Amino acid sequence: MSQPRFTWRDPKFTYADALSGSRLVMLPYLIYGLAAQLPGLAVTTIAAMIVTDLIDGRVARRLGQARPSGAAFDSTIDFIVIYALFTAFFAIGMMPWWKWLVIFAPAVLMAATQILYLARAPEVEFALTPAGKRVGQIQYAYLPFLLARTFWWREGWAMWLDHVIFALLAVAIIFSTIDTLKTLRGLLKNQ
């Protein structure tokens, strides 16, 4: 049985979509917790955000509500949350400008590629890149680490570990950017 197509006139949002969307609702609280130096609020919020990210897909599959548009919605929310948080860490001084730029600049290219892909795709779904998933996994490990560094881990070992995690992330970003450029080239070639 074919699943109904997603339309903006009748989006048919699901429970999984509500879980994904809740991360957008929680985002300002996390940013406020970081800016106001409220570790309890920041930790509770990021933990809730991670839990919703871990279970939204399972809920969709268990309730028979999995669909490409739901996966695209989840990916979009993750993209907004991740890059807003890296920007918040940069704004409060926990991330130097050059690290932020290494993370953020390829994201602009990725967003532009996805927008072009969506404009041509018959369904609401994203062009996946093999390295993109790995980048997201490293980012989701790096963000709680940055939160811990913000409030508790100020010793030299934490800064050394920060550089190691960032180096792994930078390498994954390079591979993901290469994949994104290949996808973009293919999209532009088929104009």
Query: Residue by residue, what is the 3-state secondary structure of 19-80?
Result: HHHHHHHHHHHHHHHHHCCCHHHHHHHHHHHHHHHHHHHHHHHHCCCCCHHHHHHHHHHHHH
Is 10 inside any structural domain? no
Is 141 inside any structural domain? yes
Is 37 inside any structural domain? yes
Contact 20, 56 (CB under 8 A): yes
pTM: 0.80
Condensed to tens digits (0 to 9), the pLDDT of residues 118-137 reads 666 655 455 566 677 788 88
Is 6 inside any structural domain? no
Condensed to tens digits (0 to 9), the pLDDT of residues 153-189 reads 989 999 999 999 999 999 988 888 888 778 777 777 7
Q: How many domains does the chain have?
A: 1
Is 82 inside any structural domain? yes
Is 28 inside any structural domain? yes
Supply 152's token pair: 């508790």
Is 7 inside any structural domain? no
What is the pLDDT at residue 1? 44
Here the CATH number for the domain that contains residue 79 is 1.20.120.1760
Condensed to tens digits (0 to 9), the pLDDT of residues 141-154 reads 899 999 999 999 98
Is 143 inside any structural domain? yes
Domain that holds residue 139: 15-189
